[in-house]
Amino acid sequence: MNITFTRRDLIAGTAAGVGTVSLIGGSAGAAEVGSAPSPGVPIHTVLRINGREHRVSHDIRASLLDTLREHIGLTGTKKGCDHGQCGACTVHIDGKPKLSCLTLTVAAEGANVVTIEGLAPSPTQLHPMQQAFIDCDGFQCGYCTPGQIMSAVACVKEGFADDAGTIREFMSGNLCRCAAYPNIVKAIEQAKSSTGGA
């Protein structure tokens, strides 16, 4: 038996198959879509940030960065590129560095979020990494510094601060437009030695 198909037969058959699947799944799909929050309709989320619970009302599409800055008032986390390319918005989520501009607010519910404001152990004492950035002049304009510090803490904690090359590789996702990179590396090395790598 010799069966041949033309391109037109293939396209027509594919279109008919998709149409049939759409009709069969139409009622179930409508129920699922109908139960999802609509964009623009506020939803309520409970976030744990810097050890405190925050109840926020926001759009389902809101990024964690925008929620931190606009709803909670934690403006230390900076909006740089808003595309996950500069690292200025880095926060810790369950101990891991994350780009808050690419993280939906709803995805952070139930997680422990730490921002630059929650890094210091007390209001009168800086985190060793914050102190090292000051001591080593690891910033100039300071805009990228919160994200740099959050990533730098993770760099040490995750064991990537053994040498300058490894530090530079780990920190490559954080851009400093003032080019303070050599001093940032020195600050990480100082903080590692003062904390014993913790």
**CA gyration radius, the chain:** 24
Q: Return the bridge partners of 93, or none.
A: 96, 113
**Domain spans, the chain:** 43-118, 128-195
pLDDT digits (tens, 9 = 90+) for 104-158: 999 999 999 999 999 999 999 999 999 999 999 999 999 999 999 999 999 999 9
d(CA 168, CA 182): 9
d(CA 55, CA 46): 5
pLDDT at 31 over 50: no
pLDDT at 22 over 80: no
Handedness of CA 69, 72, 74, 77 (dihedral sign): negative
* pTM of the predicted model as reported, rounded to 2 decimal places: 0.80
The CATH class of 43-118 is alpha beta
Q: Of 8-22, 84-98, 151-165, give the lowest mean pLDDT range.
A: 8-22
**What is the pLDDT at residue 27?**
45
CATH-assigned architecture of domain 128-195: Orthogonal Bundle (1.10)
**What is the pLDDT at residue 21?**
47
> What is the distance, to the nearest Å, from the Cα of residue 138 to the centroid of all Cα atoms in its chain?
22
pLDDT digits (tens, 9 = 90+) for 41-60: 899 999 999 999 999 999 99
pLDDT at 182 over 50: yes
